[in-house]
Amino acid sequence: MRQLFGTDGIRGTANVDPMTSEMALKLGRAIAYLFKNRKGRHKIVIGKDTRLSGYMLETALTSGICSMGVDVILVGPMPTPAISVITKSLRADAGVVISASHNSYEDNGIKFFSRDGLKLPDEMEREIERLIFSGDLDAIRPTATDIGKASKIEDAVGRYVEYVKATLPKGFDFSGLKVVVDCAHGAAYRVTPMVFQELGAEIIPLGVKPDGTNINAGCGCLYPDAMQQAVMTHGAHLGLAHDGDADRVLFADERGNLVDGDQVMGLCAKELKRDGRLAKDTLVTTVMSNLGLELAMREAGIRTERTQVGDRYVLEHMLAGGFNFGGEQSGHIIFLDHNLTGDGLITALQVCHYMVRSGQPLSTLANCMTPMPQVLLGGRVARKPDLDGIPVVVRTRRAIEDKLGTSGRMLVRYSGTEPLVRVMLEGPDEGTIRTLAQEMLDTILGQVGVEES
């Protein structure tokens, strides 16, 4: 049983266990010890998003890492995927990101990258937990010159900007393209506008004035309405919206219609296959992706392989199977030829590249699949018992699956980062599946309890 880590690092209310300064210090000591496994000085990169609590956690992590004799390189607010890139670029031993992604500013989180720029596997996260709770590190106290030091690098943004621009063909630019860019007042508030302007696009910036408390507030991936409206108001060719740490992106086409991760994966997979660059003609996605995507890919001669929810599991499957493209419906898209994690900016650049190259609007490119009606409901839970061990939940689930037959499917899962249960149904009639989804959700909440606000 995990004590700290969820599907994407550690997350919770800032200054409430486990997202406290005390725990951050212990995490810093554990990660420093874990990666201090070669000769010479060691260094760990720390980046963050724009939350007020980032200062507190950054300071505590830095103290913990330095107390184990490892140096810290601070890069300030930067997208999560940028930390993967910079960790590799600086030949650092590990990277740390302080971010709660799409959550509101009251929350924060901590996640780690290895020196290869990869998110840590489950077994390494379990070892971090063991080191923290066992007390094995308490007596390890370097002194004098063996204590680590912290420093800032000023060119982190520039390094990442040049890296992502290099994912486009040499000399390619976006002259004549008008783009609405919503950065959710988050980690990409400087980087994404800078990249698009340097590539010649005209931008309409939204969500680029973080104040520590407005991250994800009525903007970005969770609230794309303003981005969609701005596309129509300004006559833009498209709009894009990041989440707080910019590892994902959603789009609006030139008509203001939302384009989700499934559509993005569909259009990009087809373009990659056309270029002969889709490894094994396979798209890797999760069980949450719409069945319509799978059917469209099959028609295009592309195989679809599914994993459990979480971009880390998509990546693990890609690496194990020799695949180079995958992602999630939520907008986490992994171009493995360019980065080892979901990267909202790289995804945005590739989509714009395909638009400009083809001369077709995003609405045409995104019309690559016919989505089956899908309903996703969620509820906050007081606890997370095994649902397969609750008889009434099992009976309700079986009854709903019998009603769906072969014309639909249902998925029920707890969130790995929040006290939530999610119920997803697909089927030919939206009204019917919405009623069934609500029945399933009500049954679960009646058994596990609703979290008190």
Supply the residues annotated as catalytic: 101
Task: Kindly state the helix (H) or strand (E) to which residue 280 belongs, with its residue range.
Answer: none
128 Cβ partners below 8 Å, 6+ apart? Answer: 4, 5, 27, 30, 31, 34, 112, 120
Q: How far apart are CA 236 and CA 211, in angstroms?
A: 27
> Can you state the angle between helices 430-448 and 391-404, rounded to 10 degrees?
170
- CA dihedral for 248, 254, 260, 264, sign (positive or negative): negative
Q: Provide the token pair at 431.
A: 């009204």
Q: Could you give the 3-state DSSP secondary structure of residue 242?
A: strand
Which residue, among 344, 359, 361, 364, has the nearest Cα to 167 in the 3D structure?
A: 344
Task: Kindly state the helix (H) or strand (E) to which residue 22 belongs, with its residue range.
Answer: helix 21-35
18 upstream amide cis, omega within 30 of 0: yes
CB 97 within 8 A of CB 110: yes
Q: Could you give the 3-state DSSP secondary structure of residue 249?
A: strand
Work out the angle at residue 111's Cα, subtended by the Cα atoms of residues 388 and 241, and round it to the nearest 5 degrees. 90
Q: How far apart are CA 67 and CA 233, in angstroms?
A: 53
CB 355 within 8 A of CB 347: no
CA 200 to chain centre: 27
